[in-house]
Structure 1
Amino acid sequence: MAVRIVVVGAGYAGLAAAKLAARWTEAAVTLVNAGDRFVERVRLHQLATGQTLRDLRLADLVERTGVKLVVGRVTAIDAEQRVVRLASSPKVVHYDLLVYALGSAADMESVPGVAEHAYTVATADEALRLRQRLGDSHVVAVVGGGLTGIEAAAELAEAHPGLKVRFVNAGALGAGLSQRGREYLRRTFDRLGVEVREQARVSEVRADGPVLADGEHLAADTVVWTAGFKVPELARAAGFAADDHGRLIVDDMLRSVSHPEVTGVGDAAAVRMRSGQELRMACATGLPSTQHAMRAIADRLAGRTPRPLRFRYLNQCISLGRRDALIQFVHADDSPRESVLTGRKAALYKEAIVRGTVLFERHPVIPTSF
């Protein structure tokens, strides 16, 4: 009987993992996902502003690959019986090897009022809900200083020039960028009319806008929450070793440190290098590390010894609307160099990277060794 590999989650990492497993092994590969579409998550801020994204059916993406697609939300993983339980069916999905790729979601519980009053761009449904809300909005507060918040604020300001956009950040604007990168980001926000509030920690979200820790209220018709992500609790509930955030703890071949039959890829896995560096949640991390993880599984099944993960970052790509972007070149450990690419060339560069992620999902092999 063929080895049964089950991949849970069909985001950037999960879909690639399933297709690579089918290509590189003789296993019977099953891909389980809550929906029947592949979501270009890095474009959801575009969807929120009214742009149309490609309709990518998972059935089409796995056609003739040998991957069996099961559409259903995972409710539990039984590590002892090695089965995955689904909300949509009393039947279970059996596995010999499990690839845990359930990704991350917006953290709506860390601050009072977020779940009741804020909008996000973490899923397609949430982005569409925000798009509908924008039609009745005059002032939008984007809370969260990471790349998602920066991209959302710029996209909203460019697509809706009559909309007042406030960018609210607990730290400094572009704190992870070089000086040149920070200066360019500030000039771009000035050009787009984005009001920047730095060192402004939000303690509550109300229907009429966020309230800061010092008690100041920032009036806003709509609050877009991008301040943090969380992962499903399924790994911890299954008894897998997990970190304080609930992410699967893996070794340098992305295998669970407590359950070697489980491999973790994407946002829901805590990937650390031997140097101690923790890799950030991003396609730039997920795609090459997923390829490495699936190569390791193929090697073990073939009786070969897998190599440990070698990884380096090259850049951070930040869209600033459709005609502008900031490419921050970085050292191997993701710390910023002073070198940046900006403007129209950067926008074309960023678009090529985003298009490349879908190309990778269709043909998931990166010809570079990490």
Structure 2
Amino acid sequence: MAEHIVVVGAGYAGLAAAKLAAKWTDSRVTLVNARDRFVERVLLHQLAVGQRMRDVPLADVLKGTGVELVVDRVTEIDPEAREVGLTDGALAYDRLIYALGSYSDLSGVPGATGHAHTVSTREDAEELAVALEGARAVAVVGGGLTGIEAASELAESRPDLEVLLVTGGGFGDDLSDKGRRHLRGVFDRLGVRVRDHAHVTGVRADGLVLDDGELVGADTVVWTAGFAVPDLAARAGFAVDGRGRMLVDQTLTSISHPEVQGIGDAAAMKRHDGLELRMACATGLPTTQQAVRALAKRVGGGEPADRLDFRYHVRCVSLGRRDGLIQFVDADDTPKERVLTGRVAAVAKELVVRGALLFQSHPTMPAG
């Protein structure tokens, strides 16, 4: 009798995993997701400033694959019974692929939950769009790629706004010298102010409170400083790290439950040399292919190679619609001095985004 593989979460990693599992095994595959649409999360900062997003029904992407779609929210996982609890009933599984992703973490700073906006989900971005309608000053908290892209998009789309980026580290710390210079030039051109090495200790309706007591005024706060993962894996008793991400081996298999795989942002993945992989599409898509290859090998009665071969190539940053930054990196994600900038980089970033969506229709195509 064919095994039943249940995939929870239909983000970039989960949707691809379900389609690959159906293609590479003879198993029955069910994909569970809280929404009936695939959301291009990397475009949500654009949605927040009024740009349109593609409408991608999951049913259309899954047509002809044999994957059964269940639109419901996962409430719990019982690994002993091998069952996924849903708002409406439960699903039994033989194998589980855990792909519930991540979301912006507002829990660490007083007032953030009540006064800050995020771009983690489509609903978050739509709420931010409403908040921006009457705003004059916006503070973006977080100097990672999400914060940089959000601040750039806001400033370019809404030149009437005063945009401030606040980061606890140095501005562009994860980039090369050439990358930082270009980033600073674009922010200067767009009029985005930067406060780096500034630590936010509170969020109020009228702005941010820094650790020295200074109030930084803002009508709207956009929070991009750090991500958290759902607590379902921890509550289920799976082995997790200190952030609640599922601990997996080189085949992306749970170290505590061999019938379960963790992929995407919700898994703590390490390369064969011990390098911990960052949360990103650039990580999630190629490692998902490797994870499902390993699963298919096991379903077929074999044993996969116990080695996660993975390397980084670039970091792609949109800086509005007319500029961008492609930062070339070594295999371990260390930035090189080689960069691509300007309109060419903006086009390259758009092609990467379109490629991530195309991958969902053709998940066997090379992903890294």
TM-score range, shorter chain: over 0.9
Distance in 1 separating the partners of 2:218 and 2:263: 38
Q: Report if aligned partners of 1:2, 1:27 keep a CA contact under 8 Å in 2.
A: yes
| 3-state SS of 2:217 partner | coil
Question: Which structure 2 residues correspond to residues 198-209 of structure 1 after superposition, within 5 A?
Answer: 198-209=196-207
Match of 1:33 in 2: 33
- Structure 1 distance, partners of 2:109, 2:47, is 26
Letter in 1 for 2:79: A
Aligned mates of 2:6, 2:126 — CA distance in 1: 31
Q: Which residue of 1 aligns with 2:18?
A: 18
- C-alpha displacement of 1:366: 3.1
1:306 Cα offset (Å): 1.2
- Asked whether the 8 Å contact 1:72–1:86 carries over to 2, the reply is yes
CA shift, 1:65, in A, is 0.3
Residue 317 of structure 2 aligns to a residue in which SS? strand
- Taking the aligned partners of 1:241 and 1:151, their CA distance within structure 2 comes to 34
Contact 1:7 1:18 in 2 (8 A): yes
On the 8 A contact 1:277/1:333 being kept in 2, the answer is: yes
Which residues in structure 2 correspond to 1:298-317 (within 5 Å)? 298-307=296-305, 308-317=307-316
Which position in structure 1 is the counterpart of 2:321?
Answer: 322
Deviation at 1:302, TM superposition (A): 1.5
Give per-residue Cα distances to partners, 1:137-189, cap 9 Å, x unaligned: 00000000110000000000000001000000001111010000011100100
Task: Trace 1:1-370 onto structure 2 (pairs within 5 A).
Answer: 1-87=1-87, 89=88, 91-307=89-305, 308-367=307-366
Q: CA deviation at 1:274?
A: 2.6
1:7-59 Cα distance to aligned partner (Å, 9 max, x none): 00000000000000000000000000011110000000000000000000011
Structure 1 CA distance for aligned equivalents of residues 118 and 248 of structure 2: 29
Q: Is the 8 A contact 1:284 1:313 kept in 2?
A: yes
Contact 2:201 2:211 in 1 (8 A): yes
**Post-superposition offset of 1:276:** 1.6
Structure 2 gaps of 5+ residues are none
Q: Cα RMSD over matched residues?
A: 0.8
SS where residue 218 of structure 1 aligns?
Answer: strand
Q: How many residues align?
A: 367
Is the CA contact (8 Å cut-off) linking 2:323 and 2:341 kept in structure 1? yes
Unmatched 5+ stretches in structure 1: none
Q: Deviations over 1:105-158 (max 9, x none)?
A: 110111000000001111100101111111110000000011000000000000
TM-score, length-scaled by structure 2:
0.99
Identity between Structure 1 and Structure 2 (%): 62
- Residue 303 of structure 1: CA displacement? 2.4
Is the 8 Å Cα contact of residues 288 and 366 (structure 1) preserved in structure 2? no
Residue 300 of structure 1, CA deviation: 1.1
What TM-score comes out, normalization by structure 1 length?
0.98
**For 1:303 and 1:9, how far apart are their aligned partners in 2?**
26
